[in-house]
Structure 1
Amino acid sequence: MTTSITINGHTPTVAATAWVAPNATLIGDAHLGEETSLWYNAVVRADANRITIGSRTNIQDGCVLHADPGAPLTIGSGVSVGHNAVLHGCTIDDDVLIGMGAIVMNHARIGRGTIIAAGALVSESVVIEPNSLVAGIPGKVRRSCNPDELEQIRCNADNYVKRVAHYTPHPDGSCPSIVIPKGDVAG
């Protein structure tokens, strides 16, 4: 069962069309937008400041999202946050892909249409311009994203919106049989 904790008078809010895995955790001043998905073992801990997640965004398995005093966490729409990524008090604009195991620190800002490679570290207060490909520790802009990569960011977010249907219980409460269509490349 999803853990939802009210803290300091703030209760998480989840849009009616959002999906939250049964073992995900939402704490405090956290807000999930329409058609957003929060996957297994993800933690959204808004005990010190607000966390806002836009529409059609997916927070994949094992991610940790946290905000500090003076450093809210804002994630735009159409964003994919890969497995085990950590986002901490930063701003992620629309249509961004955060790779698996990446870390984005307080006050960093990731511009629209950007890819943060798996395992990259975006340090505190770093601003990444739109349509950038960032890799490494510390993360550095390696080049601009090409049109195919920008389309893949959008496709990945769309695939996660579709994937939720395979995990949503039937009206009678029974669990669906999960058959992922061939060619569904969402990770």
Structure 2
Amino acid sequence: MTDVTILPFGGVTPSIAGSAFIAPGCRIIGDVRIGEETSIWYNCVVRGDVNFITIGDRTNIQDGSVIHVTTRLHGTEIGDDVLIGHLAMIHGCKLHNHAFVGLGAIVMDGCEIEPDGMLAAGGLLSPGKRIPSGQLWAGRPAKYVRDLTVEQIVNQRMGAKHYVDNARAHMAALNAKKPTPA
């Protein structure tokens, strides 16, 4: 992995599954565990310096996102098949399997997004709030908007597979030999 920082902190080194894709520009620090076929995209920061971060299998964390924790109070737990949009801020919270966090959204300390729950792009889930399974929340601060349709939940779940495939393509491109000048 070129231009990736994987830094031990406080005596704990990040644990990253061999099938995970960590894009160039990422910084992964401290007590962090990243699961199989998960993709951490370009220029993300995952900083488990003062508490733990776990990221499950096939989860997708898009470019420029920041994952952090709250000292001694809240680690960050991200389940399997979670989709996190570009420039999201995930801080000291729990995202269950199949949760969705939109572009530029913020999930604060002590929050939970249940399976198939969705925080819309730009949303701010204020401390201690919970998005129940199958609900869409939006706004700053985020509030309940409506229930998701079955079709939306199915499409959201298919997104995880798409990002596994896309990450493989990016890994291949990064590992390909660069042409030599003639």
User: Which blocks of at least 5 consecutive residues in structure 2 are unaligned?
Assistant: none
Deviates more, 1:90-99 or 1:160-169: 160-169
Contact kept in structure 2, 1:168 and 1:175, CA below 8 Å: no
Task: Report the 3-state secondary structure (helix = DSSP H, G, I; strand = E; otherwise coil) of the residue aligned with 2:171.
Answer: coil
Q: TM-score, normalised by structure 2?
A: 0.93
- Structure 1 runs of 4+ aligned residues shifted over 3 Å read none
Matched, 1:67 2:85: no
**Aligned Cα root-mean-square deviation (Å):** 1.6
Contact kept in structure 1, 2:95 and 2:113, CA below 8 Å: yes
2:96 corresponding residue in structure 1? 93
1:149 corresponding residue in structure 2? 152
2:55 corresponding residue in structure 1? 53
Indicate the percent of aligned positions where both proteins have the same amino acid: 39
User: Which blocks of at least 5 consecutive residues in structure 1 are unaligned?
Assistant: 177-187
1:116 corresponding residue in structure 2? 119
Shift of the 147–125 alpha-carbon distance from structure 1 to 2, 3 Å rule, reads: same
Tell me the amino acid that sits aligned with residue 12 of structure 2: H
Task: Report the 3-state secondary structure (helix = DSSP H, G, I; strand = E; otherwise coil) of the residue aligned with 1:167.
Answer: helix
Cα distance in 2 for residues equivalent to 1:175 and 1:33: 27
Cα distance in 1 for residues equivalent to 2:163 and 2:92: 24
What's the CA shift for 1:169? 3.6
Alpha-carbon displacement from aligned partner over 1:116-148 (angstroms, at most 9, x marks no partner)? 100000000111111110101110111111111
Matched, 1:126 2:122: no
5 Å-filtered alignment, 1:15-54, equals 15-54=17-56
What's the CA shift for 1:175? 4.7
Q: TM-score, normalised by structure 1?
A: 0.90
